[in-house]
Amino acid sequence: MTASDDLPAETDVVVVGGGVMGTATAFFLSRAGEDVVLFERDRLAAGSTGDSSAILRHHYGDEAIYTDLARWSHEFYRRFEAETGAPIAHAESPLVRFADEGTPGGAYAMAGYEVLSDRDLPVSRYDGAQLRERYPMYDGAAAYDFAVSDDAAAYSDGSDVAQGFARGATDRGASVHTGVAVESIETDAGRVTGVRTDAGTVACESVVVAAGPWTPELAETVGVDVPIEPVREQILLLDPPADYAERYPDLTPTTSLPGGQWYVRPDVGGGVLVATHRHDEPTDPDEYDDSPDEETVLELVETLAEHVPGLADAGIKGSYCGVYSTTPDHDFVIDAAGPAGCFWCCGFSGHGFKHGPAVGKLTAGMVCGEDPTFDGVEIDRSYFSLDRFDDTPDGNGRPDDYI
Ligand SMILES: Cc1cc2nc3c(=O)[nH]c(=O)nc-3n(C[C@H](O)[C@H](O)[C@H](O)COP(=O)(O)OP(=O)(O)OC[C@H]3O[C@@H](n4cnc5c(N)ncnc54)[C@H](O)[C@@H]3O)c2cc1C
């Protein structure tokens, strides 16, 4: 990571954004032998990545494309230090979906069960009386018909991962510049020729924009429309009472109860993280209130206590807010559009972190003209194309809000 006055005059590829997606892309590009310069206007992981709950799940209902990306990514995360030279946090925490038969949530839970089973990913189903026994801290568990557990789910840390990918990229020759903002993409005769930054201009053949909720601003400089709406989400870090932690050393499975637009997971250091997942509060990513609203704090604490009475007296040891870059269908944008040499990697809609390694490889492959194949599994990149919004503003349709 270097100071801005060391800007190179030219490079093959400029990557804009030092979140998980930009750093992962820079890593895979430099591993492929490309000359890469990454610009981050603030510090690494300053955007959604640093606020991410970093849950690594594989269950995506019947959207097998995400299960395939998540599986490949999670395997990469497990060997992250060997790949990049940098260690990351990684804690196992099965993700459980409580559900009732004959409901959309029940159908979603079972669709994912089938997809995971087909791929030999560890998955369990618990029925009726087994629920109370398996999840004794959840008072209402027995009221559900069944639960599906994504047994190999885990969580990590966004900042660790962005720092690690940046280190892996610089070790392979990339240069990473923090505190440098890209102001526009320069073109000539329909081709990218460089980027103008607040510290000077760099000539390049290709530019990958992975600027999270700020991507539409840069897209406008080359006449590309990227439909991203930034939305604010609110997070609390709880300190469970000592007797609760003694009784339930795993604290809680990662879960989001039916109908709840919130989720909970254990946190490093014996804490519990509870957060909204609502996609309903459009916000300005430069000027949002970083403190959760009083009424939301109360709602989260009371709802959690209703389901997990042992956490009723948990103290609040921290809180913050973060921004999702939401597309109309909650699917990603990984595509080439606009002037030749312009690539877009954005719109991760509150569920991108777990796919970071695969997205980095997919994006780097798109720049280098490689097939989107992951250990023999072909990924249909058109699912993430920008032109899916041409015919209908809903794109792939059916956004789901499950975690
Ligand atoms: C509260 C919260 C919880 C989440 N939980 C999960 C989860 O549990 N599991 C999961 O899979 N996903 C989760 N996500 C989603 C995931 O974190 C995001 O999808 C992912 O971090 C997006 O990464 P990114 O690199 O695209 O964007 P960002 O991390 O936002 O990075 C974009 C970067 O670009 C920089 N930038 C912007 N404009 C410029 C410019 N002009 N020049 C230079 N730099 C620029 C910004 O400073 C920023 O650092 C969560 C997100 C949030 C906010």
Residue 52 confidence (pLDDT) = 98
Least confident span in 136-145, 331-340, 341-350: 136-145
Task: For residues 29-44, give the mean pLDDT.
Answer: 98
Q: How far is the first Cα of the chain from the last one, in angstroms, to the nearest whole number?
A: 34
Tell me: pLDDT of 257 over 90: no
CATH numeric code, 4-51+158-228+329-391: 3.50.50.60
Query: pLDDT tens-digit profile of 182-235?
Result: 999 999 999 999 999 999 999 999 999 999 999 999 999 999 999 999 999 999
Ligand 1 atom closest to 352 (CA):
19
CA of 122 from ligand 1 middle (Å) equals 28
Residue 270: count other Cβ atoms within 10 Å of its Cβ.
12
Q: Which residues line the pocket of ligand 1, CB cutoff 6 A?
A: 16-22, 39-42, 46-49, 51-55, 158, 181-182, 210-212, 214, 218, 233, 235, 322-324, 346, 348, 350-354
Predicted local confidence at residue 302, as pLDDT:
92
Per-residue pLDDT at 21: 98
pLDDT at 311: 95
Q: Over range 13-30, report the average pLDDT.
A: 98
Ligand 1 atom showing the smallest separation from residue 183 Cα: 41
Q: Report residue 201: phi and psi, to 5°.
A: -110, 140
Share of the chain above pLDDT 70, in %: 99
The confidence score (pLDDT) of residue 391 equals 85
121-168 tens-digit pLDDT:
999 999 988 999 999 999 888 889 999 999 999 999 999 999 999 999
Locate the domains of the chain by residue range.
4-51+158-228+329-391, 94-152, 229-326
Q: Give me the half-sphere count of Cα atoms (radius 13 Å) on the Cβ side of residue 382.
A: 1
Give the C-alpha separation, 357 to 36, whole Å: 17
As a whole number of angstroms, the distance between CA 119 and CA 53 comes to: 25
Name the nearest CA neighbour of 122 among 146, 102, 83, 92.
92
> Would you tell me how many other CB atoms lie within 10 Å of the CB of residue 278?
16
> Which pLDDT value is given to residue 53?
98
State which of 4, 27, 39, 48 you would mutate to test the pocket of ligand 1, scoring each by most atoms of that ligand within 8 A of its C-beta: 48
Residue nearest to atom 33 of ligand 1 (CA): 17
In 206-270, DSSP assigns E strands to 206-209, 229-239, 254-255, 262-267
Q: How confident is the model over 275-293, as a mean pLDDT?
A: 95
Domain covering 229-326 assigned CATH 3.30.9.10 in the classification: yes
pLDDT > 60? residue 1: no
**Ligand 1 atom closest to 265 (CA):** 8
